């Protein structure tokens, strides 16, 4: 398994629609394994294919030590509301309050291609909504008010200018790549 580069805000692929997966191939299995490895290295709880520069319609998720992949996921029910702070592995160090459904039921395929449903609340529901958004070119900052989005983007641009980084790729340091699996709540 390998830790993949993470594409960050400004990379066009983060705004592209993904392509439904039609065949479970060895390449797809390797992508799923590498995405888990990358998510853990970055201490995230979710990661979507466009974040590693891929266009397959899938995301990996691990909230509360329950790892699973959703292939071609669809939200079939939403209920209630929750508001809470979100971050994203593709927009490091930027956070904002986002309103999401409190509960979702998601229909997806697992890594063998079998259909399943997950009925999720709270953080898992938030994570699923965030990761499914990624598969349709949406980012959490899209939900912020204009004023808050401008402030977040200004902070982002300033940090990037300081780093002199125009590549839109975030390479995890070897320490991060080899690091512990401590989590925070970046998606
Ligand atoms: Ni994200």
| Cα 89 to middle of ligand 1, angstroms | 5
Question: pLDDT, tens digit, for every residue of 62-95?
Answer: 998 999 999 999 999 999 999 999 999 999 889 9
Average pLDDT over residues 100-111: 98
The residues spanned by each domain of the chain are 6-178
Burial class (CB in 10 A: 0-12, 13-18, 19+), 147: exposed
Residue 162 scores a pLDDT above 90: no
CA of 135 to the centre of ligand 1 (A): 10
What average pLDDT does range 172-187 have in this prediction? 60
Q: What band does 183 get if pLDDT is binned at 50, 70 and 90?
A: very low
Percent above pLDDT 70 for the chain: 91
Tokens in use for 4?
């993949």
Calculate how far, in angstroms, residue 114's C-alpha sits from the geometric centre of ligand 1.
25
**pLDDT for position 141:** 96
Average pLDDT, the chain: 91
Q: Is this prediction's pTM over 0.85?
A: yes
* Range of lowest pLDDT (6-15, 17-26, 54-63, 164-173): 164-173
Q: How far is the CA of 128 from the centre of ligand 1 (A)?
A: 10
Tokens representing residue 156 in the block: 């982002």
Tell me how far the alpha carbon of residue 46 lies from the centroid of ligand 1, in angstroms: 7
Q: How far does the centroid of ligand 1 lie from the alpha carbon of residue 113, in Å?
A: 24
Cα-Cα end-to-end distance for the chain = 21
Q: How far apart, in whole angstroms, are the C-alpha atoms of residue 54 and residue 10? A: 15
Q: Which secondary-structure segment (H or E) carries 183?
A: none
pLDDT confidence of 161, banded at 50, 70, 90? confident
């390449």: which residue's tokens? 27
Using pLDDT thresholds of 50, 70 and 90, give the confidence band for residue 165.
Answer: low
> Could you tell me the CA-to-CA distances from 49 to 6, 37, 79, 159 in Å, in that order?
10, 13, 26, 25
pLDDT at residue 167, rounded to an integer: 76
Just list the catalytic residues: 131
| Cβ 10 vs Cβ 153: under 8 Å | no
| Choices 3.90.45.10, 3.40.50.2300, 3.30.70.260, 3.20.20.70: CATH for 6-178 | 3.90.45.10
Whole-number Å distance, alpha carbon 170 to ligand 1 midpoint, is 13
pLDDT at 179 > cutoff 60: no
User: CA 86, CA 74: separation in Å to the nearest integer?
Assistant: 21
- Can you tell me the distance from the alpha carbon of 107 to that of 157, in angstroms, rounded to the nearest whole number? 37
Q: pLDDT value at position 181?
A: 42
Reported as a single tens digit per residue, the pLDDT across 36-57 is 999 999 999 999 999 999 999 9
**Residue 125 contacts residue 101 (beta carbons within 8 Å):** yes
Cβ burial of 35 (10 Å; 0-12, 13-18, 19+) is buried
């Amino acid at each position: 398994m390998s830790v993949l580069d993470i594409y960050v805000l400004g990379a066009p692929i983060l705004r592209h629609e993904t392509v439904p997966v039609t065949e479970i191939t060895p390449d797809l299995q390797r992508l799923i394994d590498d995405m888990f490895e990358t998510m853990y290295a970055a201490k995230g709880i979710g990661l979507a294919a466009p974040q590693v520069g891929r266009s397959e319609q899938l995301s990996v998720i691990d909230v509360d030590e329950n790892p699973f992949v959703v292939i071609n996921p669809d939200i079939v029910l939403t209920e209630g509301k929750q508001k809470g702070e979100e971050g994203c592995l593709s927009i490091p160090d930027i956070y904002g309050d986002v309103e999401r459904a409190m509960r979702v039921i998601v229909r997806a395929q697992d890594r063998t291609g079998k259909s399943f449903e997950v009925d999720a609340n709270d953080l898992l529901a938030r994570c699923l909504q965030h990761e499914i958004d990624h598969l349709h070119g949406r980012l959490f900052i899209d939900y912020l008010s204009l004023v808050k989005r401008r402030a977040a983007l200004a902070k982002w641009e300033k940090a990037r200018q300081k780093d002199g980084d125009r590549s839109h790729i975030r390479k995890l340091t070897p320490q991060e790549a080899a690091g512990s699996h401590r989590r925070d709540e970046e998606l």
